[in-house]
Amino acid sequence: MRTLLERRSKIVSDMRAITEAPQGEGGDLTAEQQNLFNALKAELGKADAQIERQAVLDDAERRMNGVSITGDSKLDMKMRSFSVMRAIQHQLGTKVDAGRELEISAELARMEGRSTDGILMPYSVFERRADTITTTAPTAGPGGNLIGTDHMGGQFIDMLREANPLTGLGMRVMSGLVGNCEIPRLKSGTSVGWFGENSAIPQTDAQMDSITLSPKHAGAWTEYSRNMLLQSSPDVEGLLRSDLAQVLALEVARTVINGSGTGAEPKGILNTTGILEVAKPAKEMGYVPALSSALFVKNVPSVSFIANSAFKGTVDDLLTTDGLPIGDAAFFRNYQHKYASVVPPARVMVAGDFSQVIQGTWSAVEVLVNPYMESAYKKGNVALRIVLTMDVAIRHPEAFATFEVA
């Protein structure tokens, strides 16, 4: 985009140079100047079209489900074929062909320079979600006990879960990190100043700083039925992926939005120094324009909103002068928006360009199977320990705005 804008600026400058120095009769352009001007005009039209296409593409990329800025795409595709079921079954001692999973785990361990008692799984295997459906068993009416019942473990009825609010907002993802990561950042640029004859040009150097990512660990315990884990149904594979993905994704989303930054927890947007604190408008209809205008002044081109889940009821209650519901689209002025419980009620909503968020992950999710944990062993279940190593960094805090409810 920068190259295209520089090219357009050069074309306009050349056109202006022609019009300001006409060489024809009566202050008009010569035929040669007119032909050159027309050629530049056509080139300007092409440049404008290219800029428009690039702007659409840039905006679409920012709104993607995460923008990966590291890693090998071919390797990522191979890792997506990693089977969670086969990895767990291998740890249970079941005779399964887990050669691919063991090879990938070994490669991840080599990349990270560490060993594990469990198995390392690529974070990418949890980036898709399986659908679930429900079934009902026959009742014990006349002849009902003669009807066979298929145990469909793969059609397990999942609990109602909150969707990941960061999906589609373009958060940047850095995967495969090894050590601490330091990213240089331009804090303030060089400025232009006026100077008189025989005077020195005012010197203003660009100011640099950096943002850092360092490993922080999130973990969870969960239990599954041993029989379910021993099944080879593809649906059970989808169930495991879905369950683990949601557990990880929602905690990552909470941390990105409201991580405390204390202890071992990464610091999220709302606790980052430098985000814009806007005065709370008197009426709800002023919330969105107050935040969007504050971001516009800071040159934030792409704005999305995440509001607290409870605020959905407030929006639904807002009516037009005709007594009709205002609706989400009108309230949010057609900005992309999500509702999520990860936004504290005291903040109501946070707005900004979520492509300014970097999620760094240190290669793999570690899963350790333990069939002998006392609480699980008594029930014939299997306990799984899940550990994710990640961190969050905000490239430009001023790309986000919020207000606090009094």
CB neighbour list of residue 60: distance below 8 Å, 6 or more residues apart? none
**pLDDT tens per residue across span 308-348:** 999 999 999 999 989 999 999 999 999 999 999 999 999 99
* In the predicted structure, residue 26 carries a pLDDT above the cut 60: yes
pTM, full prediction: 0.64
Give the confidence band of 263 by pLDDT, cuts at 50, 70, 90. Answer: confident
Q: Please state the domain extents for the chain.
A: 2-22+29-62, 67-134+152-406
- Region 282-299: what's the mean pLDDT? 94
End-to-end CA distance of the chain: 42
Query: At 319, is the secondary structure helix, strand, or coil?
Result: strand
Distance CA 105, CA 368 (A): 12
89-104 confidence digits (pLDDT tens): 888 777 788 888 888 8
Extract the tokens encoding 249.
């994704």
User: What is the average pLDDT score of the chain?
Assistant: 79
Q: Which residue has the tokens 């941390």?
A: 255
Tell me the C-alpha distance between 43 and 272, whole Å: 45
272 vs 375, more confident = 272
Query: Which of these, 315, 322, 68, lies nearest to 171 by C-alpha position?
Result: 68
pLDDT at 156: 52
Q: Could you tell me the maximum CA-CA distance found in the chain, to the nearest angstrom?
A: 107
Q: Are 182 and 210 in contact (CB under 8 A)?
A: yes
Q: Which of 2-6, 290-294, 375-379 is modeled with the greatest confidence?
A: 290-294
pLDDT at residue 381, as a whole number: 82
State the pLDDT at residue 241.
Answer: 73
224 three-state secondary structure: strand
Q: What percent of the chain has a predicted confidence (pLDDT) above 90? A: 28
CA distance 146 to 333: 60
User: What CATH homologous superfamily does 67-134+152-406 map to?
Assistant: Major capsid protein gp5 (3.30.2400.10)
The band of 128, judged by pLDDT with boundaries at 50, 70 and 90, is very low
- Predicted confidence band at 161 (pLDDT cuts at 50, 70, 90)? low
pLDDT for position 282:
92
CA gap 270, 17 in Å, rounded: 50
Confidence check: pLDDT of 45 > 80: yes
